[in-house]
Amino acid sequence: MPVPPVDSSQVPRFAGFATFARLPRLDEVSRADIAVVGVPFDAGVSYRPGARFGPAGVREASRLLRPYHPGLDVSPFASRQVADAGDIALNPFDIGEAIATLQDAARDFGRGGTRLVTVGGDHTIALPLLRAAAAEHGPVALLHFDAHLDTWDTYFGEPYTHGTPFRRASEEGVLDTSALCHVGTRGPLYGKADLSEDERLGFGIVTSADVLHRGVPETVAALRERIGDRPLYVSVDIDVLDPAHAPGTGTPEAGGMTSRELLEILRGLRDLHLVGADVVEVAPAYDHAEITAIAASHVAYDLVSLLALCEEPA
């Protein structure tokens, strides 16, 4: 039987260690089907720093999560052993070394049969996580929820930043280019060529305005058709939400999705072949009343629940 979270009827939610959803630590269980792991790293940001404190902020905000998910009709912590694996410590002064360290750590989890929901940290971390996923499953489909494309080539001549991970991943062949889509993009670009370059890399785009005008059901249907039964990785930059719903992030853009829209789209991915996911770019220093961290904790909970509904790896 899985070791459950701390019972809030016995220990108040505001007491005790702040693991994600008050789950057991990885060292307190014999193995984990799903692990929530933090990556406190933000050396790849181009504007406001602070996402290195995201994992701690999300864990603190997750104290109020409960063990049954009525929207997906699943008790993820009862059907699977879910644990908090703590943080993967990365070199904050050497992005190349940090990427290699995270890639190795993610592959180690995969070899043990554990699937990850990773809490960042900035979006640079998506590249090593995708490399690790592809090493196990082959090129993966990708749903990328973000205000931005993150397929730019370089910043200040640097190829590895939070604005470049999906260009590198496409170039390296770790993505299935027939099944890629950005969701929630908006805001100004450097030029129209950004869109044509993005299309050349294999991405489709569902903008935040598309979600508004088409609605959640049509959006979900289009995404499911594009992904099919391919191994799927989901990457959620919390700035996909409007700053009203996620002020605590490094590069906010007006006109974003609501937290309700995001959660409902994620729930529409039920029964797809999800192999891993991340939630990134929570910067608590710019947050207030834990608005952003609460949204991110619920996103992570939904991703854990979706993984719990998937068949266990062979």
- Local mean pLDDT, 10-residue blocks, the chain (314 residues): 88 90 96 97 97 98 97 96 98 98 97 96 98 98 98 96 98 97 97 96 98 98 97 98 98 98 98 98 97 98 97 56
Position 145 in a domain? yes
State the number of CA atoms in the 13 A half-sphere of 148 facing the CB.
23
Token duo for residue 55: 């994992």
pLDDT per position as a tens digit, 122-181: 999 999 999 999 999 999 999 999 999 999 999 999 999 999 999 999 999 999 999 999
Cα–Cα nearest to 223, from 180, 279, 262, 176: 180
Is 44 contained in some domain? Answer: yes
Q: Which two tokens stand for residue 103?
A: 């890639």
Residue 10: what pLDDT?
87
What pLDDT is recorded for position 22?
Answer: 96
Give the range of the structural domain holding residue 151, as residue numbers without chain letter. Answer: 20-309
Sign of the Cα pseudo-torsion (250, 82, 66, 16, in order): negative
pLDDT at 286: 98
Q: What is the pLDDT of residue 312?
A: 60
Number of domains in the chain: 1
Position 1 in a domain = no
Separation CA 137–CA 140 (nearest Å): 7
Instruction: Report pLDDT digits (tens) over 284-314.
Output: 999 999 999 999 999 999 999 999 999 764 4
In a domain, 71, yes or no: yes
Whether 277 is covered by a domain: the verdict is yes
Kindly report the CATH number assigned to the domain that includes residue 154. Answer: 3.40.800.10
Residue 195 inside a domain? The answer is yes
What pLDDT is attached to residue 314?
A: 44
The answer to whether residue 2 is domain-embedded is no
126-137 vs 95-111: helix crossing angle, rounded to 10: 40
Q: Is residue 12 a part of any domain in this protein?
A: no
The pLDDT value given to residue 166: 98
Question: Quick one: pLDDT at residue 281?
Answer: 98
